[in-house]
Amino acid sequence: MGSTVKQLVTTTEIAAAYPIMKQLRTHVDENDYMMLVQEAMDKDGYHLFALYDAGQIVAVTGFKPMITLYYGRFVWVCDLVTDEVKRSNGYGEQLLQFVEKWAKKHQYTSVALSSGLQRQHAHRFYEHQLDYEKVSFVFKKNI
């Protein structure tokens, strides 16, 4: 594959990833996306990367390095999405492997993520293709 991974840092780069991210985060409009990404970068160590193939963004990931007593030093993948018309080409796997290499290079010991209960195809992808373990449930309460 003639693909490359690039960190998105400028407003223009971040905005260019929105059409792909919108496929995962359907509830987030572009203005909120821009505001939330910038705030997460500024305050929470969020990193946004895109996988380009033939000069086009085909997949996007957002992650942040974290430290907790449960996981120790780890990278939390907040967002991982491949363009729906480009799926099944190995882009998601390639981007997640990039995150794993980034984590290892920066001395984090694991990568973790959550996936919506309805995304059973994604669960099989994480568990069977990429060797991720199902280790917990995530609970949420809106306040």
Structure tokens that stand for 68 in this block: 């907790």
Say what the pLDDT of residue 123 is.
Answer: 79
Say what the pLDDT of residue 67 is.
Answer: 96
d(CA 48, CA 40): 10
pLDDT in tens, 10-53: 999 999 999 999 999 999 999 999 999 999 999 999 999 999 99
d(CA 97, CA 76): 14
pTM (global) more than 0.75: yes
What is the sign, positive or negative, of the torsion defined by CA atoms of 77, 45, 139, 104? positive
User: Comparing 127 with 55, which gets the higher pLDDT?
Assistant: 55
Query: Which domains does the chain show, CATH number per domain?
Result: 3-129 (3.40.630.30)
pLDDT in tens, 74-105: 999 999 999 999 988 999 999 999 999 999 99
pLDDT in tens, 60-79: 999 999 999 999 999 999 99
Q: Which residue has the tokens 């363009």?
A: 83
